[in-house]
Amino acid sequence: MQNREVIKEMLQKFYHSKSFTHHYIMVFVLDGVVYAVICDCNMVDRVTCLDMASRGAGYALRFKPNKAQKIMLLKEGAITLCSEEFFNTLVRESKYNRGEIAEKLVTEYAGQTWIKDNVPFTDAGDIEWNGIAYQIKFEKATFINEKTMANMR
Domain boundaries, the chain: 2-152
Rounded to two decimals, what is the model's pTM?
Answer: 0.94
* CA separation for the pair 141, 127 (Å, rounded): 17
60 in Cβ contact with 102 (< 8 Å): no
* One-character DSSP codes across 7-23: HHHHHHHHHHHH-S-SE
* CA separation for the pair 66, 73 (Å, rounded): 11
Number of C-beta neighbours around residue 137 at 10 A = 24
Q: For 21-65, how does the pLDDT look when each residue is reduced to its tens digit (9 = 90+)?
A: 999 999 999 999 999 999 999 999 999 999 999 888 899 999 999
Q: For 71-101, how does the pLDDT look when each residue is reduced to its tens digit (9 = 90+)?
A: 999 999 999 999 999 999 999 999 999 999 9
18 in Cβ contact with 122 (< 8 Å): yes
* CA separation for the pair 29, 87 (Å, rounded): 10
